[in-house]
Amino acid sequence: MRDALVLLTVLAAVAVGLWAWRRWHHQSFWLVVGYPIIALSVLASWRRVALGCGLTKKRQRFWFTTVPGMVASTGVVRVKRRFQRIAVDTKPFMWLPLPTRHGWRVTLHTLEGQTPGDYADAAERLAHSWGVHAIRASSPRPGRVVLMATMRDPLVKVDHLPASTDLLKVTVGRLENGKPWTIDFRTVPHWLNAGATQSGKSNLANALIVGLSPQPVALVGFDLKGGVEFTPYGPRLSALATSRAETVTLLDDLVGLMVDRMGLCRQAGARNIWQLPPGIRPTPIVVLVDELAELYLMADKSEKDEIAKTSTALLRVAQLGRAFGIYLFCCGQRIGSDLGPGVTALRAQCSGRICHRVNDPETATMTLGDLDPAALVSARAIPAETPGVAIVAGQDGQWYRARSFYVTEQAAEHAARTYADLAPAWDEITSHLPESINA
C-alpha cells in the first residue's frame, strides 16, 4: 500500500514536471521528449498510413511459400516449399523525420509513376492520419518529396519582427514556416490583395504605410470608399483620389509621369530608373488602391467613358510602371472578370498575389490563378477567427500561408504624421524632370 502511494506520488511529480517543462520551455521539451516519440511513431505507422492514403504501389515479388503437403506414412505433414509470385504493397522509402520549429519534416523517395502532386493531394489525409495541423508537400528535386508537418497552427499568434531596412521592402508578417513575410516591390512590382470584408486587407495596407513611411518613396492613394480609409494617412501621401473625377486626373498624372521618366531613361541610355545615377533618379512611387472594384463599377451609362479611361490608364501603369519606379498594391473584395476585361488584364500584370479569407471559391481562383490547387483549398479553409491570415504567392513562385502583423489604424496614422516631411509634394514630382537631364 505504501509502495503504491510512493509510486503514485512519483508519477504525479513526473507528470507535473513534464507539464511545466512543456509550458515554460516548449522548444527544448519538443526536441528532447516530443520529437523522438513522434519520429518513431511516424516511421512505425508509415506502411499503414501510406496504404490508407493511396501512396503505395502493388509490386510483384517472388517469395518462398509453403504449400500444403501430403500426410506421410509416419503421420507427419510433409511441407513443400516453392517460389511463388505474389503482389505486395510497397511503400515509398522514408528517411528519418527531422525536427522543425513547429513540427517535423521528412524526405521520401517517390515510387515510379508518382508525382509530388500525388502527395499534395493526399496532404489532408496524411495530416488526419498523423493527427497534425497540416502537411505540406514540396519537391526539392526529381524523385524526392519533402513532407512538412506543422503540429498546430503557428499563425494563431504572430510576433512582430524588426522592420526591413531595404528600399521598397517591407516585412509585413510571418509565413507559416516562421520566416518573415516580406513585400519587396523591387522584386515583385505589382500586387493584388483580395479578401472578404473584415479579412485583413486594410490591416496589410496599414503595415505597408508603416513600413514605407520612413523610406524615401512617394505614396499615392486611390480610395473610392469616399476616402474614409486613406484620408487619415494624408500627411504622408503625396496625392489621394477619393472620387471618380479625381481618379481620372491622378491616373493621367501617373501616365504622364511615366512618359517623362521613359524619356529621361532614353536620354540617359538606361533601361529603367535604377540604372540612372542616384543624382537624377526620380523618386519611386507606391500606389495603394482600396476597393479596386469601385474603379470599375458603373452606376449609370454616363460613367462608361470615365471607367474606360481609368481602366486603360491603370493597365498602362501596371504594364510599364516597373521600369519607371511606379508600383501598385490593389486591395479588393472581388477581383473577378465580371468587372470587365480591364480587371483581367490588370490581374495578369500583378504577379504578387495575396488571398485572405474569401466568401466564394471564384475569388480565390481569380486571385491565386494557376497556382497549385492545394493553395485554393487552403485559402478557402481560412477561418474568420484569424483575420490577417492569407495565402501568399510571389517572390519564389511558391505559395505560403502567412499572417500579417496586427497594425492598427492609429499606428499607421502615427507613422504618417511622424514622417510627413518625407512626403514629396505631388506638383514637385510631376512638374519637371531633373535639371541635369534638361541641360
Ligand X SMILES: Nc1ncnc2c1ncn2[C@@H]1O[C@H](COP(=O)(O)OP(=O)(O)OP(=O)(O)O)[C@@H](O)[C@H]1O
- The residues that touch ligand X, with contacts defined as CB under 6 A, are 195, 197-203, 333, 387-388, 403-404, 406
Rank residues 336 and 387 by Cβ distance to ligand X and give the closer one.
Answer: 387
Shortest Å, Cβ 357 to Mg ion: 13
Q: What is the dihedral of CA 257, 169, 218, 303, to 10 degrees?
A: 60
**Which does residue 203 touch among Mg ion, ligand X, none (CB within 5 to 8 A, set by kind)?**
ligand X
Shortest Å, Cβ 330 to ligand X: 13
Q: Does 206 bind Mg ion (CB under 5 A)?
A: no
Rank residues 150 and 202 by Cβ distance to Mg ion and give the closer one.
Answer: 202
**Which does residue 197 touch among ligand X, Mg ion, none (CB within 5 to 8 A, set by kind)?**
ligand X
Secondary structure letter of residue 278 according to DSSP = G
User: Nearest residue to Mg ion, using CB?
Assistant: 202
Rank residues 121 and 409 by Cβ distance to Mg ion and give the closer one.
Answer: 409
Per the structure block, which three cell numbers stand in for 246? 479625381
Residue 373 near residue 346, CB atoms below 8 Å: no
User: Cβ of 145: how many Cβ atoms within 10 Å?
Assistant: 23
Shortest Å, Cβ 197 to ligand X: 4
**Which does residue 198 touch among Mg ion, ligand X, none (CB within 5 to 8 A, set by kind)?**
ligand X
Shortest Å, Cβ 177 to Mg ion: 27
Q: What is the dihedral of CA 199, 165, 258, 337, to 10 degrees?
A: -20
Rank residues 29 and 406 by Cβ distance to ligand X and give the closer one.
Answer: 406
Shortest Å, Cβ 171 to ligand X: 13
**Which does residue 261 touch among ligand X, Mg ion, none (CB within 5 to 8 A, set by kind)?**
none
Shortest Å, Cβ 158 to ligand X: 7
User: Cβ of 17: how many Cβ atoms within 10 Å?
Assistant: 10
Rank residues 41 and 198 by Cβ distance to ligand X and give the closer one.
Answer: 198
Give the total of residues touching Mg ion (CB under 5 A): 2
Tell me which residue has cell 528532447.
32
Rank residues 294 and 362 by Cβ distance to ligand X and give the closer one.
Answer: 294
CB hemisphere CA count around 278 (13 angstroms): 1
Shortest Å, Cβ 399 to Mg ion: 23
Rank residues 136 and 201 by Cβ distance to Mg ion and give the closer one.
Answer: 201
**Which does residue 242 touch among Mg ion, ligand X, none (CB within 5 to 8 A, set by kind)?**
none
Shortest Å, Cβ 291 to ligand X: 7
Shortest Å, Cβ 408 to ligand X: 8
Q: Which secondary structure element, helix H or strand E, spans residue 85, and what is its range? A: strand 80-90
List for the chain the helix, strand, coil content (%; round to 5).
Answer: 45, 25, 35
**Which does residue 189 touch among Mg ion, ligand X, none (CB within 5 to 8 A, set by kind)?**
none
Q: Rg of the Cα trace of the chain?
A: 30
DSSP code string of 320-363: HTTTTTEEEEEEES---GGG-HHHHHHHHH--EEEE---SSHHH
User: Nearest residue to ligand X, using CB?
Assistant: 388
DSSP code string of 201-228: HHHHHHHHHHHHTTSS-EEEEEETTTTT
Binding mask 164-203 for Mg ion (x = CB under 5 A): -------------------------------------xx-
Rank residues 46 and 181 by Cβ distance to ligand X and give the closer one.
Answer: 181
The one-letter amino acid code at 397 reads G
Q: Which of 75, 138, 41 is nearest to 400 (CA)?
A: 138
**Which does residue 404 touch among ligand X, Mg ion, none (CB within 5 to 8 A, set by kind)?**
ligand X
Cα distances from 312 to residues 251, 252, 432, in angstroms, run 10, 10, 24
Parallel, antiparallel, or unpaired for β 326-332 and 190-194? parallel
Rank residues 201 and 261 by Cβ distance to Mg ion and give the closer one.
Answer: 201
Shortest Å, Cβ 201 to ligand X: 4
Residue 221 bridge partners (DSSP): 240, 288
Q: What is the dihedral of CA 128, 131, 137, 141, to 10 degrees?
A: -130
Rank residues 202 and 349 by Cβ distance to ligand X and give the closer one.
Answer: 202
Per the structure block, which three cell numbers stand in for 223? 480610395
Binding site for Mg ion (CB under 5 A): 201-202
